[in-house]
Amino acid sequence: MAKDEIILGIDPGTQLMGYALLRIHNGQPQVLLMDIIKLTAQKDIYARLETIHARVCELIKLYKPSTFAIEAPFFGKNVQSMLKLGRAQGVAIAAAMQAGLTVTEYSPKKVKQSITGNGNADKDQVWKMLQRILQIEEKPQYFDATDALAVALCHHYQSSSPLAAAGKGIKGWEAFIAKNPGRVKKM
C-alpha cells in the first residue's frame, strides 16, 4: 500500500498569502486545509516576511508535506510590488528547502490550464472546478486560499501524469530519444 503524499501549495503575497494542504490517498486528492495569512496588520515588510516564514515552517512541522508547490509571480507593471512579491515567494521557498522539501514552481497560466483546461480562466472558474473535483461545499472568503489549493492540485496532476513518469530526468527531445531508442520510428 502506497504512503499518502501531502502537497503544500502556496499562493504568495505580501498582503494575503494563500496556503493549502492536499493529501493524495490511493491516487485521490483530499483537502486537508485551505486558508490565508493576513499580513496587512503589519506595516513593516520584514515583519510580514518573518510571518510568512514562520507560518510555512509551522505548516511543514504540523502536516509533514512531502512536496511543496508555489505559484510563480506574474509580471505586473509595478516594479516595487514585483520585488515585494518575489521576496515573499523566496521566504516561503527558503522555509520549504530548509525542511528538505522538493520545491516546484508553476506559472499562473499553467495552474489555470491544469485545473480548468483554460490558461486564461478567471478565479471564479478555477474555484468552481476545484469545488467539482474535490467536492468542496463552502466557498472560502478569499481566492488566495483557492489559488493555493489550485497550485497543490496542479502539482498533483503534473507529477502523477504518465508523461511525468515517463520523462523523469529527461531534458528535451534529444535526451528522450537517447533514453528511449526503441520508440523512434525511422521512415
Given a contact cutoff of 8 angstroms between Cβ atoms, the answer to whether 14 and 33 are in contact is no
Given a contact cutoff of 8 angstroms between Cβ atoms, the answer to whether 156 and 31 are in contact is no
Render pLDDT for 115-131 as a digit per residue (tens, 0 to 9). Answer: 999 999 999 999 999 99
The ranges assigned to domains in the chain are: 5-179
Residue 176, pLDDT score: 66
Q: Could you confirm whether 71 is annotated as catalytic?
A: yes
Render pLDDT for 102-111 as a digit per residue (tens, 0 to 9). Answer: 999 999 999 9
Q: Could you confirm whether 144 is annotated as catalytic?
A: yes
Buried b vs exposed e over 25-63: b needs ≥16 C-beta within 10 Å?
eeeebebebbbbbebeeeeeeeebbebbbebbbebbeee
Please tell me the CATH superfamily of domain 5-179, with its number.
Ribonuclease H-like superfamily/Ribonuclease H (3.30.420.10)
Residue 3, pLDDT score: 80
Ligand-binding annotation for 44, yes or no, is no
Residue 169, pLDDT score: 55
Residue 166, pLDDT score: 53
Residue 137, pLDDT score: 87
* Cα 132 to Cα 129: distance, rounded to the nearest angstrom: 5
Residue 172, pLDDT score: 64
Q: Could you confirm whether 174 is annotated as catalytic?
A: no
* Cα 105 to Cα 183: distance, rounded to the nearest angstrom: 30
Q: Give the residue ranges of the chain where pLDDT is below 70.
A: 1-2, 75-77, 162-173, 176-177, 187
* Cα 118 to Cα 88: distance, rounded to the nearest angstrom: 27
Q: Which of 71, 105, 137, 147 is catalytic?
A: 71
Q: What is the pTM of this model?
A: 0.84
Ligand-binding annotation for 144, yes or no, is yes
Neighbours of 96 (CB within 10 A): 23
Residue 83, pLDDT score: 87
Q: Which of 5, 11, 35, 147 is catalytic?
A: 11
Residue 78, pLDDT score: 80
